[in-house]
Amino acid sequence: MSHSVDTPDVLDHPIALVVGVVGVVLGITAVAGVDVVAPPPERPVVTVAAAGLVLGGVVVAARRVKATVDQADPPVVEWRGGVAVPGTSLDGEIRRTVHGEYEERAAARAAVVERLREVGASVLAVVERIPVERASERVDAGEWPVNGSLDRLGDEETGQVTVDRVRTAVGSRSSVDRLAGRAVTALADVTPGLTLPTDGTDGDASLVERGATTDRDGSTAGDRATGDGAESPDGADPVDRHTGRWTGVVGAAMLAVGVGVFATLGDGGPSLVVASVAVVGAVGYAVAATAPDVSLAVERRVDTDRPEPGEEVDVTVTVENTGDSWLADLRVVDGVPAGLRVVDGSPRYATALRPGETVRFSYVVEATRGEHTFDPVRTMARDPSGATESERRVDATGAATIECTPDLDARGEVPVFAQAARRTGRVRTDTAGEGVEFHSVREYQQGDPLSRVDWNRVATAGEFATLQFHEERAATVVVVVDARRPAYVTDSPAGPAVPERQLEAADRLASSLLSAGDSVGLAAFSPEWCWLEPRGGDTQRARIQRHLATHPAFGPERPTDPFYGRPPLRRLREELPGHAQLVVCSPLCDDYAVELLREFHARGSPVTVVSPDPTTGASTGQRLAAVERAIRISRLRRSGVRVVDWTSDEPLRAALETAQRRWSG
Amino acid sequence: MTFVRRPQRSVATLALVPAGVAVLALAGDAVGAVLGLVGAVVLAVGVTVASRPVVSLGGGVLFVGVLAAGSAGASPAVLVFAAAGAVVSWTTGQHVVGLAAQLGREAPVRRSVLAHLASATVATLSAGVVGLVAFRLAAGTVPGVAVAFLLVGVVSLLVALRS
């Protein structure tokens, strides 16, 4: 995408060079009155020359139609980095069915249809309780009701693209989006346990769309929160580029001269020839442009570098032009740490900067747990005309990190909820002994505590008997946080991210289980190994909280390495005590999560999943992601895994209570 | 907080000021005035929705208005203003759209836009004034054809010098 500026060479354009030299020589000789052109050009000759100019002008100006402007595309640092919005890839395909070239549109359509077919088959498989292979055969055979709209999706009608482009430009939905949306709604209707908001009403879709979209210049938006698994490579090298924003203006100058000559020959007079000098001036100004020499000093200050989670932190950036040249057009984007989001102000600034001059701007970020390191500041400097752009990365002095660790003493006060604990942690056994719930009565044996003697029986029958209760044993629970790459998902790139909710859930579950007397351990599905042996007590609570706050497995940026099961899984299985159960916090946004959890469950470690819901139903892709997630939940429940579906608008406690009613009912 | 790749209204308005000047300069010629007005409106829409093609379309229509007025015999001084206004409005509109794409709506960009507006105005108007002065001095003595040759030569050399 980026290329360096070549040294200009007049020999690159031999025709223009020859025409230019000949034109200037002829013009000067004509002015000097030397009749080199003599006899003075006949009218037809001039007419032909002017017509040629007009034609050439039109041709050159028309290059503008196909031309793209090449400019730096800084990521959306305002949003959290390293998270994806589920469903963005389908939304991207749907957009490509409108905005791409012809082949690209056809491929995108095929991809949309294929994707819908796949999900249709897995929905059918769950609803009819048949294997997925059989279900996809039946979908291919046209059995699925959704097929009606899928067929129409397959082919592009003539002129449809133009209509769709106009539609999307005014904020309406394209025809493919409508058809796909209808298909997804049909799927959602038959998917068990899923209620989606009504289609196409949510204003949030536009936000997500802009976030992940390809912008109008055709350069891809290197956004932080892009599609499922998209990478935004950060070239650290300085880049100098021609923006190409003046393409075609030469044509305007040629047109002005050509039309001006016609006007001079006619009765319009030579004023257009004079006016064309102004356009030539603009062209000259763009051509003469050289990339500015950028030398900057940047300082960054934060009002506190050890905030509490949720606290707002003011960041102030000061930029000084330490070079000798005037920077006519300087754009600055601060390297907001990927784990933080901007809640007020903008980390971006554009200005003109004289040598020695200083500008200052500030913005506000919201602190989340973890250690957050600022990235270098991106600067884009252009010459006054904007024909060249120099992109640089400047390391700022001053604040480099924001460290946010929850205050452990304060967090000890977090209210715990006994119900959840009893369900997920404390186990009522069928062994008779000490306890609360009545089990049976047996003959008194010496040494039985007096409190358990059945005094009623002593009074009525005169014989001693001892009451027995269901013995309640402390359970051994390992809280597992799904911190694999696909688990770093969020419902909106501008909002709180789901990894944060997973950590919050893990923290509160561990606290309440410990309060109920269970032994609690901590582990992560992550390329980073994380393991805390199950233990009881307040020390363990502190240990777990410190791990959740600072362990690299739970970092704010999603891991680049994949988590392929075998070695780390085997190690985790070896560490797990035989009687341990798992409470897993996972958004369930990929199929591998389901396999993983089913396998643990089947191997004798009962699994409960607390799943923060990252789907919103704001766009067609997100609605499809919601359908897929509901299918995964169904499949898990069928294998006996307990699933707590935790939507973003309810407190965890409410979600747990709902789930509990489901389990006891 | 959202990230919107469209300019603030006040910034978009800055780009339209030279277009306004151009439309006023074209007021003397009916065809030129209508084309100029249509071009300015299209340009305004393009800047507001942050679309480079629409900005170019608007600037182009405005420029055709200038050509029409020139063919109909508008005075050179007025036409220099109109041509400069069209070019400056177009390039400032492009600048605003580029800023919106890179920095979004929230970032303070006014000073950058003003600097671009000023330097583009100086470049086009100073060239235009040189042309005007030359025209006044040489009126009647230099054949228009010579001027045309010179301009073509200069433009071609400029193109050749581009890398």
pLDDT digits (tens, 9 = 90+) for A618-658: 788 888 888 999 999 999 998 888 888 888 778 888 888 88
Asked if A396 and A580 touch (Cβ cutoff 8 Å), the reply is no
Distance in angstroms (rounded) separating the CA atoms of residues A349 and A352: 10
Distance in angstroms (rounded) separating the CA atoms of residues A455 and A305: 65
Record: contact A349-B98, CB cut-off 8 A: no
Percent of chain A at pLDDT exceeding 70? 80
Q: Residues A262-299: pLDDT tens digits?
A: 888 777 778 888 888 899 888 888 888 888 888 999 99
Asked if A315 and A412 touch (Cβ cutoff 8 Å), the reply is no
Domain that holds residue B74: 9-128
pLDDT attached to residue A42? 60
Residue A34 clears pLDDT 70, i.e. is over it: no
Question: Could you tell me which of B76, B92, B82 has the C-alpha nearest to residue B147?
Answer: B76
pLDDT attached to residue A433? 63
Question: Could you tell me which of A399, A395, A364, A362 has the C-alpha nearest to residue A379?
Answer: A395
| Residue B86, C-beta contacts closer than 8 angstroms, at least 6 positions apart | B18, B19, B22, B36, B39, B59, B62, B63, B65, B66
Asked if A351 and A330 touch (Cβ cutoff 8 Å), the reply is yes
Longest dimension (CA), chain B: 65
Total count of domains within chain B: 1
Please state the φ and ψ torsions of residue A392, each to the nearest 5 degrees.
-135, 160
Distance in angstroms (rounded) separating the CA atoms of residues A302 and A347: 13
Asked if A25 and B153 touch (Cβ cutoff 8 Å), the reply is yes
Residue A224 clears pLDDT 60, i.e. is over it: no
Please state the φ and ψ torsions of residue A351, each to the nearest 5 degrees.
-160, 175
Confidence of residue A427 (pLDDT cuts 50, 70, 90): low
Residue showing tokens 């991210």 = A497
pLDDT attached to residue A496? 60
Asked if A522 and A583 touch (Cβ cutoff 8 Å), the reply is no
Residue B152 counted as domain residue: no
Residue B161 counted as domain residue: no
Q: What is the 3-state secondary structure (H, E, C) of A114-156?
A: HHHHHHHHHHHHHHHCCCHHHHHHHHHCCCCCCHHHHHHHHCC
pLDDT attached to residue A129? 86
Most confident of the ranges A26-40, A373-387, A493-507: A373-387
Q: Return the residue of A nearest to B119 by Cα.
A: A384
Q: Which two tokens stand for residue A138?
A: 């039946």
Cis upstream peptide for A86 (omega within 30°):
no
Record: contact B101-A24, CB cut-off 8 A: no
Residue B141 counted as domain residue: no
Task: Looking at the complex, report in whole angstroms how far the Cα of residue B130 sits from the nearest Cα belonging to chain A.
Answer: 8
pLDDT attached to residue A420? 38
Residue B86 counted as domain residue: yes
From A79, A262, A344, residue closest to B3, measured CB to CB: A79
**A13 shares contact with chain B (CB less than 8 Å):** yes
Asked if A74 and A222 touch (Cβ cutoff 8 Å), the reply is yes
Record: contact A352-B115, CB cut-off 8 A: yes
Q: Residues A291-309: pLDDT tens digits?
A: 888 899 999 999 988 888 8
Q: Return the residue of B nearest to A331 by Cα.
A: B103
Torsion-angle region of A370 (φ positive above 0: left; ψ -120 to 50: alpha; else: beta): left
**Strand pairing of A476-482 and A581-585?**
parallel
From A23, A252, A384, residue closest to B116, measured CB to CB: A384
Residue B157 counted as domain residue: no
Residue B153 counted as domain residue: no
CB interface of A with B, residues 174-203, below 8 Å: none
Q: Which of B149, B154, B158, B163 to mutate to test the interface with A (most CBs of A within 10 A)?
A: B149
Burial class (CB in 10 A: 0-12, 13-18, 19+), A535: middle
Most confident of the ranges A10-19, A219-228, A295-304, B141-150: A295-304
Task: Looking at the complex, report in whole angstroms how far the Cα of residue A315 sits from the nearest Cα belonging to chain B.
Answer: 15
Q: Which of B88, B151, B161 to mutate to test the interface with A (most CBs of A within 10 A)?
A: B151
Q: Which of A166, A207, A279, A364 to mutate to test the interface with B (most CBs of B within 10 A)?
A: A279
pLDDT attached to residue A412? 39
**DSSP states along B11-66:** HHHHHHHHHHHHHHHGGGSHHHHHHHHHHHHHHHHHHHTT-HHHHHHHHHHHHHHH
Inter-axis angle of helices A271-287 and B52-71, nearest 10: 150
Give the residue with greater pLDDT, A4 vs A361: A361
Q: Residues A463-503: pLDDT tens digits?
A: 888 887 766 667 788 999 988 888 888 776 666 655 777 88
**A272 shares contact with chain B (CB less than 8 Å):** yes
From A249, A268, A351, residue closest to B71, measured CB to CB: A268
Burial class (CB in 10 A: 0-12, 13-18, 19+), A651: exposed
* A33-42, A335-344, B5-14: the lowest-pLDDT one: A33-42
Distance in angstroms (rounded) separating the CA atoms of residues A299 and A658: 51
What DSSP character marks residue A565? S
Residue showing tokens 């390992």 = A478
Q: What is the 3-state secondary structure (H, E, C) of B105-118?
A: CCCCCHHHHHHHHH
CB interface of A with B, residues 472-511, below 8 Å: 494
Percent of chain A at pLDDT exceeding 90? 14
**A585 shares contact with chain B (CB less than 8 Å):** no
* A81-85, A185-189, A384-388, A512-516: the lowest-pLDDT one: A81-85
**Residue A426: strand, helix, or coil:** coil
Task: Looking at the complex, report in whole angstroms how far the Cα of residue B34 sits from the nearest Cα belonging to chain A.
Answer: 18
Q: What is the 3-state secondary structure (H, E, C) of A329-374?
A: EEEEEEECCCCCEEEEECCEEEEEECCCCEEEEEEEEECCCEEEEC
Question: Could you tell me which of A374, A373, A348, A371 has the C-alpha nearest to residue A361?
Answer: A348
Report CA dihedral (B15, B81, A282, B67) to the nearest 10 degrees: 100
Residue B36 counted as domain residue: yes
Neighbour-count burial for B49-75, b at 16+ CB within 10 Å, e otherwise: bbbbebbbbbbbbbbbbbbbbbbbbbe
pLDDT attached to residue A102? 79
Confidence of residue A447 (pLDDT cuts 50, 70, 90): confident
Asked if A622 and A590 touch (Cβ cutoff 8 Å), the reply is no
Q: Tell me the residue ranges of DSSP E strands in A613-654.
A: 642-646
Question: Could you tell me which of A323, A340, A281 has the C-alpha nearest to residue A78?
Answer: A340
Confidence of residue A233 (pLDDT cuts 50, 70, 90): very low
Longest dimension (CA), chain A: 146
**DSSP states along A446-477:** TT--GGGB-HHHHHHH---EEEEEEEEEPPEE
Asked if A473 and A429 touch (Cβ cutoff 8 Å), the reply is yes
| Residue A231, C-beta contacts closer than 8 angstroms, at least 6 positions apart | none
Across residues A400-420, what is the average pLDDT? Answer: 54
Across residues A374-389, what is the average pLDDT? Answer: 92
Q: Residues B103-131: pLDDT tens digits?
A: 988 899 999 999 999 999 999 999 998 88
Give the residue with greater pLDDT, A89 vs B23: B23
Tens digit of each residue's pLDDT, chain B (163 residues): 567 888 999 999 999 999 999 999 999 889 999 999 999 999 999 999 898 989 999 999 999 999 999 998 888 899 999 999 999 999 999 999 999 999 988 899 999 999 999 999 999 999 998 888 888 877 666 666 677 777 777 777 777 765 4
**Residue A503: strand, helix, or coil:** helix
Across residues A575-589, what is the average pLDDT? Answer: 87
For residue B110, CA distances in Å to A350, A580, B10, B44, B95 come to 8, 62, 9, 17, 11
Measured from the Cβ of residue A126, the count of other Cβ atoms closer than 10 Å reads 21
Distance in angstroms (rounded) separating the CA atoms of residues A491 and A211: 13
Record: contact A261-B148, CB cut-off 8 A: yes
Residues of B in contact with A277 (CB under 8 A): 80, 127-128, 130-132, 134, 151
Distance in angstroms (rounded) separating the CA atoms of residues A408 and A453: 44
Confidence of residue A410 (pLDDT cuts 50, 70, 90): very low
- Using DSSP, how many helices (H) and how many strands (E) does chain A show? 20, 20
| Residue A552, C-beta contacts closer than 8 angstroms, at least 6 positions apart | A528
Q: How many CA atoms lie within 13 A of A242 on its CB side?
A: 15
Q: What angle do CA A210, A555, A648 make, to 5 degrees?
A: 55
Residue B136 counted as domain residue: no
Average pLDDT, chain A: 78
